[in-house]
Structure 1
Amino acid sequence: MSFKAYLALFLAFLVIQVRAWMPGEHQEIYSVNGKDLFNKSQTDGDSKRWLPGTPKIRGVNLGSLFVMEPWMASAEWNSMSCGAWPSEFDCVMHLGQGQANQAFQKHWNSWITQGDITQMVNYGLNTIRIPLGYWLLETIVYANSEHFPQGAFPYLERIVGWASDAGMYIILDVHGAPGAQQPQQPFTGQYAPSAGFYQGHQYDRAKEFVGWLSEVVHTRGAFRNVGMIELVNEPIQNTGATPGLLDNYYPNAYAEIRAREAKLGISSNNLLHIQAMNTLWGSGDPHSHLTSDWFMAYDDHRYTKWDSSVPVDKGAYIRDACHNNRLSNTDYQKSNWPTIVGEFSLSVPDFVQWNGDWHPDGNKAFYTQWFSAQIIAYERDTNGWIFWSWKTQLGDYRWGYQDAVAQGVIPNNPQNINWGTCNGV
């Protein structure tokens, strides 16, 4: 074997033998040739899939990139000639596959740029969560009855490559599941009249998708900083309405990913984290039917906007943020750990959000304080946080991290929040 061939084989081996730890879990990691991989981000074989950087995940969601949500990107949606339709499925069905593919590929090419990734890093963020639809794997789409844009994978590969080059940690999230995990929710990719996900053949398709994703992560260099795959985003908050989710889909999807990793020869400390919505979400305890929880992780979404138990009062919002320990129950903490707050925002209930006492223009000091209180609690109680979302077209910084920094509401580095916000509250 020539030296070049040997070197190529050795580097390919190293690409696979990288760790999928979460931020902060280790301070020194060495490759098989003894090279220190700490905080590495190069594209060569000594790269990593985990980011030590800071002790907590601090990140943003790339909302409306690969799963469009018209409510938060209406100008973009209209420019794609989709404005009359409520979801990707509906738009593709009415535009036709060819025209839709062109429109969506233009969107994927421009919604999040390499400049955005650079700006995130400059703002002290170390993580991105990327919502995906199962239709990214085009072979499992029912061609005669399902209508989704095609050709997204190269754009996903490009953006994870940019993020890996920048040293960011990456979570891939199944935001749109086969059949739709919630009715009439564009974040599933379709405005389905009912949730069709909770049946065996749909679980099988989702299992195939996450298994394929895991192989992609372990075998393609651009994905080297992907350390986690989330099995499904925000299932229905009623265990009676989600038959098979806990005892079929979660354990079988977990087993599928692990089987594919085993086939690739991935060692136990280099496996991906596999994430599910936590017990607090309301769809049951995802841990309840697992036979193994090695490198499991859990997702907690905290939107005070829709929490009727918190009085609609600024002081109450700060107190709740400071004292609402998301892991206060010891048994729950043991089974749903590690947890990340994968979505939260600064938005308040619809009926007050544009009132004088809550309007974003005249209450920036409050929103800065509320952001700080949430960050303090999430970093105290969990493994970190991921804001929804990086970018919107709402003209409302309460949903957009980039806009909130521009408005001076969120500091240009989360390390610079007022860490004493909860003192005496």
Structure 2
Amino acid sequence: MLQTPHGGGTNKHPHDQEDDFPVKPSSSSGTQIGSSNTAGATGGDGGYVYNGNNFPSFVGRHRKKILVGSVVLTLSAVGVLIALLVEKPWDRNGASGSPSSLFGGHRGGAHGDGADGKGNHAGGGANKNGPPPRFDDKSTVQISSAIRCNAHTPPLDQPFEYGKQPIRGVNLGGWLVLEPFITPSIFEPYISQNVTDEYTLTKLLGKEKSREYLQKHYSTWVTEDTFKRIRDLGLNHVRIPVGFWALGGLTEDEPYVPDLSLDYLLQGLKWAAQYGLRVMVEIHGAPGSQNGWNHSGRVGQIRWMDGSPEGEINGKRTIEYIKQLTRLLQGPGMEHVSPMFGLLNEPAIFMLERPPIDKWYKDAFREFRNITGPGKGPWGVLHDGFLGLTEWEGFMPKSDRLALDVHNYLIFDYNLIRLNRKAQANFPCDVWSRTMQQSTHAFGPTLVGEFSSATNDCATYLNGIGVGYRWDGTFQPEEDRIKGLPLDEAACQPKLNGAVEGHCSCKEQNRIGYYTPEYRKFLSDFTQTQMDAFEQGLGWFYWNFKTETNALWSYFDGVDQGWIPKDANNRPGGCLALGRPIGPYSG
């Protein structure tokens, strides 16, 4: 997540990074980076539309120099074309028949009374928080028809009706893929030694110490209680990011700890089943880095599908990892607890050549479906790559349960971060709701895999270690400093707001004690209007379930502090409450 914006606007994270790193695109309306729409002004509905004419210079300043390497690797790909399904009026990439038939013929497996005959489920580990034992290639989970996360959601042995029932979920970011902004404490002891991501951390510590260091983190950052609380908050889905290194098969120059995080992923799936939650497993980091941001595992150059021989090899390796993880999720019971699969998080397509990526998406999805079989297995989810939803209209039509993922944030766009609070709270109702409706009509099922309550980019290390912040005017990637480019004006607009004590201070903006009742009310409005807008598609996953230092990125903190409802299914605010009702899509 973040480092795109791991959450960005589209995109998840602060994914603007230091050194010669690519800068993550800003979030915006459906007119996203790379689109040809131009406006630069407030439209008639009060929603700001990003000025696409500014984008070329943006890319020019931040495009990565690609390191060409020569590596020998032979991969074979055998593909069988997937069966095309009947198109529904609202769904150009859905399942044939009614939503209730999405898993027709694929509901076998281990469901019944549970492991102990009383509806209880095996936890799957030697102890509550320790590493679970190794699993077979096809893992299993016990599914009980009596287990459901809440009254609004069907039990796990019944299909979730995507398109009729909204996804309401959170991300377990910073768990199996490290991010400095989520868990600064993991990185701060080593920042002076140039540690900026999981690659440099594990390279510095070495395999043995890294394994011990990471196992302690994995076993404490997420526990069974995490899933229990997610269920108790009325949520129905969890998105779990995982790096390619979880599946092993590393090269000599990849210092990551192999295999260990896979054990914890499988434990997470069992905990999810225990509490009636569905999981979207998603590959968050690809060999070579698909975006050059720290949440991919390695900050810096993009060495994935970048036009070089090394990039091509890493693209093929990624498909092999997709196939391995897909096979793992084919075991009895898995189809119920893991009905969505993210092929790859946030590939920076806006900095790469589009045609090869289109082909890669098609190849990856074909191999994925070859393993599951037509009409079986999880939905496949593609990320929009920061091109904007309109760029995907008509892509891979009538595919077998294919969905599109977009990550929406205001704070990585200088124009949107400067909007006043009222305009920001209205923006999801006026703009994002329409883009979700349009994409659902023109592409098919569309979801928001990341968003947050944040209205500034002040979270520690959000934009990368040592990069600064747009909000207070300190944001400047290393390559801009080298070129002598001036800093952009502070997004807090000190000429207008500088007299307000603490307004332009990121230190104060990060402190919950600084938040006034009026600001908390705004955060509540902004969060709930986003939820309303994103439910015009398949629904949403909040980024993140918790962080160490910033409440605006923590669903748990938002609930505790009062700006996120205690029950996601009973929300008192939203677009209608602000007098901005969302109308039906008119085409």
TM-score bin (small chain): 0.7 to 0.9
Would you say the 8 A contact 1:179–1:196 is kept in 2? yes
Matched letter for residue 284 of structure 2: H
Alignment root-mean-square deviation, CA: 3.4
Contact map agreement 1:49 1:169 (CA 8 A) in 2: no
Match of 1:67 in 2: 177
Kindly state the Cα deviation for residue 29 of structure 1 after the two structures are TM-superposed. Answer: 7.9
Q: Pick closer, same or farther for the CA change 1:328–1:96 going to 2, 3 Å.
A: closer
Task: Please say if residues 275 and 296 of structure 1, whose CA atoms lie closer than 8 Å, have aligned partners that are also in contact.
Answer: yes
Question: SS of the counterpart of 1:257?
Answer: helix
Counterpart selection for 2:202 from 77, 81, 92: 92
Find the aligned partners of 2:158 and 2:179 in 1 and give their Cα distance. Answer: 29
* CA separation of 1:318 and 1:215: change in aligned 2, threshold 3 A: same
1:405: how far off? 0.7
* 1:26 equivalent in structure 2: 100
1:277 CA displacement: 1.3
Aligned identity (percent) is 23
Match of 1:146 in 2: 254
Q: Structure 1: how far apart are the matches of 2:362 and 2:403?
A: 13
Within a 5 Å distance, the mapping from 1:279-298 to structure 2 comes to 281-282=387-388, 285=391, 290=396, 293-298=399-404
Q: How does 1:292-331 map to 2 (within 5 A)?
A: 293-310=399-416, 311-328=418-435
2:415 is the counterpart of 1:261:
no
Matched position secondary structure for 1:405: helix
5+ residue gaps, structure 1: 1-19, 263-267
Contact 2:169 2:236 in 1 (8 A): yes
Q: How does 1:356-367 map to 2 (within 5 A)?
A: 359=509, 361-362=515-516, 363-367=519-523
Aligned to 1:15: none
The counterpart of 2:324, out of the listed 207, 212, 230, is 212
Does 2:386 correspond to 1:386?
Answer: no
Structure 1 residues 292 and 303: alpha-carbon distance in aligned structure 2, compared to 1, 3 A threshold:
same
What code does the residue aligned with 2:325 have?
L
Partner-residue secondary structure (3-state), 2:265: helix
Tell me the secondary structure at the aligned position of residue 100 of structure 2: coil
Which piece of structure 1 moves more, 318-327 or 354-363? 354-363
Deviations, residues 403-425 of structure 1 (Å, cap 9, x unaligned): 11111111111223224324248
Structure 2 residue ranges without an equivalent (≥5): 1-93, 122-141, 146-155, 458-470, 472-490, 493-501, 582-587
Q: Please tell me whether residue 111 in structure 1 is matched to residue 221 in structure 2.
A: yes
Partner of residue 75, structure 2: none
Structure 2 counterpart of 1:120: 230
SS in 1 for 2:234: coil
Give the Å deviation of 1:325: 3.5
Letter paired with 1:271 = G
1:249 aligns to what?
Answer: 360
| Higher RCO structure (Cα 8 Å, ≥6 apart) | 2
1:61-87 C-alpha deviation (Å, 9 max, x unpaired): 0010111001221124447x6774111
Distance 1:206 1:128, change over 3 A: same
3-state SS of paired residue (2:329): helix
TM-score (norm 1): 0.81
Which residue is equivalent to 1:16? none
Task: Decide which of 528, 538, 543 is 1:372's aligned counterpart.
Answer: 528
Using structure 2 for the length normalisation, give the TM-score: 0.60
Aligned to 1:403: 557
- Measured in 1, the distance between the counterparts of 2:183 and 2:107 equals 47
Kindly tell me: are residues 89 and 280 of structure 1, through their superposed partners in 2, closer, same or farther at Cα, counting changes over 3 Å? closer
Which residue of structure 2 aligns with residue 232 of structure 1?
A: 344
Work out whether residues 323 and 367 of structure 2, in 8 Å CA contact, stay in contact via their aligned partners in 1. yes
Task: Quickly say closer, same or farther: Cα 1:28–1:349, change in 2 above 3 A.
Answer: closer
Report the AA paired with residue 265 of structure 2.
L
Take 1:32 and 1:293, find their aligned partners in 2: how far apart are those partners?
18
Quickly say closer, same or farther: Cα 1:410–1:27, change in 2 above 3 A. farther
SS where residue 275 of structure 1 aligns?
strand
Which has the greater radius of gyration?
Answer: 2
Give, in angstroms, the shift of residue 275 of structure 1. Answer: 0.6
What's 1:172 paired with? Answer: 281
Task: For residue 222 of structure 1, report the CA deviation from its aligned partner.
Answer: 5.6
Q: Does 1:188 align with 2:299?
A: no
Amino acid at match of 2:262: F
Secondary structure of the structure 1 residue equivalent to 2:199: helix
The structure-2 alpha-carbon separation of the partners of 1:295 and 1:33, relative to structure 1 and needing over 3 Å to count, comes to closer
The offset of 1:213, in angstroms, is 1.1
**Equivalent residues in 2 for 1:32-43, closer than 5 Å:** 43=142
Kindly provide the amino acid, as one letter, of the partner of residue 524 in structure 2: T
- How many aligned positions are there? 390
Partner of residue 57, structure 1 = 167
**Counterpart-to-counterpart distance in 2, 1:424 and 1:94:** 52
Please list the CA deviations of residues 183-229 of structure 1 after superposition, one character each: whole Å capped at 9, or x if unmatched.
Answer: 2x110001233443433211111111111111111126467411111
Task: Give the drift of 1:373.
Answer: 1.1
Alignment match, 2:315: 203
Q: CA deviation at 1:149?
A: 1.5
**Are 2:103 and 2:375, in contact at CA under 8 Å, matched by a contact in 1?**
no
DSSP-derived class of the 1:70 partner: coil
SS class of match (1:414): coil
Residue type at the aligned position of 1:73:
T
Supply the distance in 2 between the matched residues of 1:283 and 1:236 (Cα, whole angstroms).
Answer: 14
In structure 1, C-alpha distance between the alignment counterparts of 2:167 and 2:192, rounded to whole Å = 35
Q: Residues 17-40 of structure 1, C-alpha deviation per residue, up to 9 Å, x if partnerless?
A: xxx98xx943998889999x89x9
Give the number of the structure whose residues are more often helix, by fraction: 1
Cα distance in 2 for partners of 1:307, 1:385 equals: 21
CA offset at residue 123 of structure 1? 0.3
Cα deviation digits, residues 135-172 of structure 1 (max 9, x gap) = 11102x21x11110132211111011100221111101
- When structure 1 is superposed on structure 2, of 85-94 and 285-294 the one drifting more is 285-294
**Does the 8 Å CA contact 1:181/1:236 hold for their aligned counterparts?**
yes
Question: Contact 1:51 / 1:167 at 8 angstroms: preserved in 2?
Answer: no
